[in-house]
Amino acid sequence: MTTSTLQRHLAAPFLSLLRRAALAGVGAAACALAPAAHADDNQYSLWQQTKDHAARIWDQGDSAIYLSGVAHHGRSTYTPQKLDELNEHAWGLGYGKTLRNDSGNDESLYGFVIKDSHRHPQYMAGYAYEWVFPIARTGLELGLGGTAMLMSRQDYFHSVPFPVPLPLASIGTQKAKLMFAYVPRLSSNKNNGDVLLIFGRIEM
């Protein structure tokens, strides 16, 4: 399958969600932080700057394919009975754009669908930033950062997309990375959170 064909099949359904995920956070900040006397001008300026920045990533970034395969649930967080019920083969496919910015760090826009822990489709689209650290002279690099996304799951909010920030890490070359996103445990209750999603990103 050619790159152009892949873009048509994978990129188009996610474009609207990508824009909302990448822009929603800064748009909200603009509303909260802009001085009252110049609220309209400042809100527009921040919103326009964010849209322009997202457009730059999309226009100048390298196309990237995302491949998912593992969702590891913490063994001390989930009961053996619950682990037997859960799916850890989080097969999935995604498409995005990644730009190595002027500071030498990676900024990405992406859309991604995987099989969730209950074997239903989980849709994700958003923005990621990683600080990149070369590993000596090996040609490898370590990435540390985070992602802000919109996620849609059948078991949350009747599939209505909701915002999710997650820490992000990676190791590999600039063009091919093994990546890790972590869903923390947010309470002392068993059977929630503490999930490590392992996936790959290949730039073309």
How many angstroms separate the CA atoms of 18 and 112, rounded? 10
Question: Which of 62, 94, 87 lies closest to 72 in space, CA to CA?
Answer: 87
Q: What is the 3-state secondary structure (H, E, C) of 128-152?
A: EEEEEEEECCCCEEEEEEEEEEEEE
How many angstroms separate the CA atoms of 2 and 171, rounded? 27
Catalytic option among 68, 73, 108, 194: 73
> Is 159 a catalytic site residue?
no
How many angstroms separate the CA atoms of 83 and 74, rounded? 9
Catalytic option among 68, 108, 116, 194: 116
Catalytic option among 68, 108, 117, 152: 117
> Is 158 a catalytic site residue?
no
> Is 45 a catalytic site residue?
no
Residues with active-site annotation: 73, 116-117
